[in-house]
């Protein structure tokens, strides 16, 4: 979608976005003047988007310097990201706090993983602290996006090269052995712009045996071609090694009195991720052709702590990917009509290799293990093809309508390397091919009531094919190969307003999911079974408000109220959760930030952040509840001169005891994963230009 009256080349636009002042691309709340690119993969005013979109600009990322995605994602109403250790996380966007594959994670519009190999920790495979911006489309995406995009689409953008030679080095230290080095630099010369980023982070962890190390690098090269086209080539790589307490939860007594205790110090997570893409775009007067081939490599070695008590395993999953995103846009003069057609292709052969382990415990702590028999060893090739069509038009000056249709086809070619196992707790299906297809309609409209008030309404249908582990890691379930796709229908209305001193946004949504894939824990032996639930319901309201209280003080508020319920789910005969609220689904999520840009700080600021998470049920039976928590964080920075910046932050200012995750079972009772205590960070940044 081209901004009316604004002709550009993609590289020029990227540079403009990188250099734009924060007031133009406000982070919270999204204003009518904000530009988004995720919906159509081109610059589009948020006022013409028929979805609730949150935009975090690169200047905000620079200012906050987040050590974890949870420190910045809460700026967007209805978005909650918790901490599971290191930079690990679970996300809640119009869904409970979950590891389920209901989000689509992108880097520059390209999925960071194949749909078959979803990782709920996807943001630690992206170099978030050095990103060029973050966009979150809440709820299902447009026709340009397929499987996974149910709760939301999270697009992390790389940063383009500066117009002139520039470099920056940032070093940071903190409690619990935290050390981080960020290096970035680049330049533009003639028709070529290049930037390189490096992120080296290490921490001892605040709980026992929770060391974490990461190395990430990004190289981006933008080039003008002689035919007027542009070519953007991006290479990103991450290596992560982690001893993780993660969701290793403690009894209530230990949670309150011995929170550094880690009952699973033998657990680990080692991740490798490499992505290469090259986006070709050629724009004529009324057309645009985009062709983006890409390649990916993902590897994850994991000894999970959550299953040590009932199914101790150590496994490795790997997959390579080759893909192609094609898109063609045609503009028609009448009614500012645009037609976008495209096809997405992805081929991701991968594997899973899993061994049972025998773990030994001392005083309730897992201290060592030996590997036993191999329980799963299989290869699986995941192929997908998805043609789509998207159209936008303005029947009147104030009204704009969009509609889209996407057909997704996904095939799993599964090859069992161990043989069929039809009994026990590690059943294995025979080699087979499983196919899924789905037609997703989208329809929406925006209406400009005035220059300062905009409204929208939309209906979006989408789906989620089961991942390879849900299909072929059968466990004790009788049959997982026949799992059905999750299907979602989302209805949404919203208002966006902007005045001289304040701006706001309000959105209401109603989403039903049929055949939701849920995990049921057996009361007899504690094992889990993956199965389709009948239906779940997700509905709520999200509010964003931003106000300039004075020349130096700014207030930003993000708030959401939601209710997530099992409408139909009877996992076993005699057990019926229908009508209950879903576990780990807080009704209230709030984030309030008060910024004081004091003149005495020479261009710096002091920010006080209040983070509120409401209560939620610990079990599907709705018998035990976590009371929620309130956290306060303080951040500040000071510029000694135009080159040198000092900054610091205090996490959990009041040293509140809180849980990043909590659950209840008949076997272990109430358990809580303690969150980070009061922690101090300080750093310095030097910039050459």
The per-residue pLDDT for range 65-76, each reduced to its tens digit, is: 999 999 999 999
Task: With cut-offs at 50, 70 and 90, classify the pLDDT of residue 493.
Answer: very high
Per-residue model confidence as pLDDT tens digits over 534-592: 899 999 999 999 999 999 999 999 999 999 999 999 988 889 999 999 999 999 999 99
Mean of the pLDDT values across residues 372-387? 96
Give the number of other Cβ atoms within 10 Å of residue 403's Cβ: 17
Residues contacting residue 88 through CB under 8 Å, at least 6 positions apart: 121, 124, 242, 244, 246, 269
E-only strand ranges, 175-211: 178-189, 192-203
- Do residues 486 and 449 make contact, with C-beta atoms less than 8 angstroms apart? no
Per-residue model confidence as pLDDT tens digits over 338-356: 999 999 999 999 999 999 9
Residue 235 has pLDDT above 80, yes or no: yes
Comparing C-alpha atoms, which of 416, 417, 313 is closest to residue 371?
313
Give the number of other Cβ atoms within 10 Å of residue 4's Cβ: 9
Residues contacting residue 323 through CB under 8 Å, at least 6 positions apart: 110, 111, 293, 294, 295, 296, 344, 345, 346, 347
- Do residues 391 and 404 make contact, with C-beta atoms less than 8 angstroms apart? yes
Task: With cut-offs at 50, 70 and 90, classify the pLDDT of residue 11.
Answer: very low
Residue 245 has pLDDT above 50, yes or no: yes
Residue 628 has pLDDT above 90, yes or no: yes
For 130, phi then psi, to 5°, come to -115, 25
Residue 21 has pLDDT above 80, yes or no: no
Tokens read off for 253? 């007594």
Tokens read off for 499? 């005045």
What is the Cα–Cα distance from 479 to 469, expressed in whole angstroms? Answer: 13
* Start-to-end C-alpha separation, the chain: 34
Task: With cut-offs at 50, 70 and 90, classify the pLDDT of residue 31.
Answer: low
pLDDT in the model for residue 9: 40
For 61, phi then psi, to 5°, come to -60, -45
Mapped onto helix, strand or coil, the DSSP state of residue 17 is: helix
Q: Which helix or strand (DSSP H or E) is residue 428 part of?
A: none
pLDDT > 90 in the chain, percent: 80
Report CA dihedral (134, 137, 140, 146) to the nearest 10 degrees. -40
CATH 2.40.170.20 fits 10-688, yes or no: yes
Mapped onto helix, strand or coil, the DSSP state of residue 290 is: strand
Mean of the pLDDT values across residues 296-321? 93
What is the Cα–Cα distance from 460 to 464, expressed in whole angstroms? Answer: 14
Mean of the pLDDT values across residues 273-278? 98
Residue 315 β-bridge partners? 302, 354
Per-residue model confidence as pLDDT tens digits over 168-220: 999 999 999 999 999 999 999 999 999 999 999 999 999 999 999 999 999 99
Q: Which helix or strand (DSSP H or E) is residue 12 part of?
A: helix 10-19
Comparing C-alpha atoms, which of 77, 73, 69, 74 is closest to residue 53?
77
Ramachandran area for residue 329 (φ above 0: left; ψ -120 to 50: alpha; else beta): beta
Residue 12 has pLDDT above 70, yes or no: no
SS (H, E, C) 625-648: EECCEEEEEEEEEEECCCCEEEEE
What is the Cα–Cα distance from 195 to 236, expressed in whole angstroms? Answer: 12
Least confident of 299-313, 487-501, 514-528: 514-528
Ramachandran area for residue 86 (φ above 0: left; ψ -120 to 50: alpha; else beta): left
Per-residue model confidence as pLDDT tens digits over 552-564: 999 999 999 999 9
For 115, phi then psi, to 5°, come to -60, -30
Mapped onto helix, strand or coil, the DSSP state of residue 670 is: strand
Tokens 């135009």 sit on residue: 642
- Do residues 467 and 117 make contact, with C-beta atoms less than 8 angstroms apart? yes
pLDDT in the model for residue 44: 83
SS (H, E, C) 545-591: EEEECCCCEEEEEEEEEEEEEEEECCCECCECCCCCECCCCCCEEEE
pLDDT in the model for residue 1: 34
pLDDT in the model for residue 563: 98
432 upstream amide cis, omega within 30 of 0: no
pTM as predicted: 0.93
Residues contacting residue 46 through CB under 8 Å, at least 6 positions apart: 30, 31, 32, 34, 35, 36, 53, 55, 496
Tokens read off for 452? 């300062």
- Do residues 177 and 165 make contact, with C-beta atoms less than 8 angstroms apart? no
Report CA dihedral (211, 634, 68, 259) to the nearest 10 degrees. 40
Mean of the pLDDT values across residues 457-480? 93
pLDDT in the model for residue 32: 66
pLDDT in the model for residue 319: 96
pLDDT in the model for residue 432: 97
The pLDDT mean for the chain works out to 91
What is the Cα–Cα distance from 411 to 466, expressed in whole angstroms? Answer: 11
Comparing C-alpha atoms, which of 187, 75, 177, 197 is closest to residue 128?
197
Q: Where are the domains of the chain?
A: 10-688
């Amino acid at each position: 979608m081209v901004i009316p009256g604004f002709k550009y080349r993609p590289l020029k636009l990227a540079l403009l976005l990188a250099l734009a002042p924060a007031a133009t691309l406000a982070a919270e709340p999204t204003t009518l003047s904000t530009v988004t690119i995720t919906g159509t993969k081109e610059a589009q005013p948020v006022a013409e988007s028929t979805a609730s979109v949150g935009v975090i600009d690169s200047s905000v990322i620079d200012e906050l310097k987040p050590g974890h995605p949870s420190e910045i994602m809460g700026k967007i109403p209805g978005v909650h990201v918790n901490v599971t250790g290191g930079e690990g996380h679970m996300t809640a966007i119009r869904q409970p706090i979950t590891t389920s594959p209901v989000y689509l994670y992108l880097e520059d519009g390209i999925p960071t993983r194949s749909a078959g190999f979803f990782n709920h920790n996807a943001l630690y495979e992206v170099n978030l602290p050095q990103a060029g911006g973050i966009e979150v489309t809440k709820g299902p995406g447009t026709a340009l996006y397929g499987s996974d995009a149910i709760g939301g689409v999270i697009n992390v953008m790389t940063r383009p090269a500066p117009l002139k030679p520039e470099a920056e080095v940032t070093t940071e230290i903190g409690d619990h052995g935290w050390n981080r080095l960020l290096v970035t630099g680049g330049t533009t010369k003639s028709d070529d712009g290049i930037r390189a980023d490096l992120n080296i982070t290490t921490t001892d962890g605040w709980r026992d045996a929770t060391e974490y190390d990461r190395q990430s690098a990004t190289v981006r090269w933008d080039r003008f071609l002689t035919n007027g086209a542009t070519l953007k080539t991006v290479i990103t790589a991450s290596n992560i090694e982690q001893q993780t307490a993660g969701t290793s939860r403690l009894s209530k007594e230990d949670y309150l009195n011995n929170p550094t205790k880690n009952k699973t110090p033998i657990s680990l997570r080692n991740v490798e991720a490499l992505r290469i893409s090259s986006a070709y775009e050629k724009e004529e007067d009324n057309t645009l052709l985009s062709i983006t081939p890409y390649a990916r490599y993902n590897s994850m070695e994991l000894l999970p702590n959550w299953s040590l008590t009932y199914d101790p395993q150590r496994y490795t999953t790997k997959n390579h990917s080759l893909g192609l995103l094609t898109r063609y846009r045609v503009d028609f003069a009448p009614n500012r009509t645009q037609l976008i057609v495209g096809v997405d292709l992805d081929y991701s052969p991968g594997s899973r290799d899993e061994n049972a382990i025998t773990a030994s415990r001392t005083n309730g702590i897992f201290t060592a293990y030996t590997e036993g028999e191999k329980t799963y060893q299989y290869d699986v090739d995941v192929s997908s093809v998805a043609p789509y069509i998207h159209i936008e038009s303005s029947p009147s000056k104030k009204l704009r309508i969009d509609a889209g249709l996407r057909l997704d086809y996904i095939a799993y070619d599964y090859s069992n390397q161990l043989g069929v196992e039809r009994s026990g707790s590690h059943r294995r299906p025979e080699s087979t091919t499983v196919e899924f297809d789905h037609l997703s309609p989208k329809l929406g409209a925006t209406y400009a009531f005035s220059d300062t008030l905009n409204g929208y309404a939309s209906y979006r249908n989408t789906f989620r094919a089961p991942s390879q582990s849900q299909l072929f890691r059968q466990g004790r379930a009788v049959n997982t190969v026949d799992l059905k796709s999750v299907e979602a229908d989302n209805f949404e209305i919203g208002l966006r307003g902007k005045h001289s001193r304040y701006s706001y946004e309000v959105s209401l949504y109603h989403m039903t999911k049929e055949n939701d894939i849920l995990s049921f824990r057996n009361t007899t032996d504690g094992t889990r079974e993956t199965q389709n639930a009948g239906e779940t319901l997700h509905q709520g309201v999200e509010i964003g408000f931003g106000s300039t209280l004075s020349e130096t003080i700014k207030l930003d508020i993000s708030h959401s109220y939601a209710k997530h319920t099992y409408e139909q789910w009877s996992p076993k005969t005699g057990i019926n959760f229908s009508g209950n609220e879903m576990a780990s689904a807080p009704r209230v999520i709030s984030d309030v930030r008060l910024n004081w840009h004091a003149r005495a700080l020479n261009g710096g600021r002091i920010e006080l952040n209040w983070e509120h998470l409401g209560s939620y049920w610990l079990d599907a039976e709705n018998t035990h509840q976590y009371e929620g928590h309130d956290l306060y964080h303080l951040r500040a920075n000071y510029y000694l001169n135009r080159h040198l910046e000092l900054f610091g932050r205090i996490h959990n200012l009041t040293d509140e005891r809180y849980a990043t995750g909590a659950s209840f079972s008949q076997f272990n009772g109430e358990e809580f994963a303690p969150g980070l205590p009061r922690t101090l960070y300080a750093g310095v940044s030097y910039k050459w230009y």
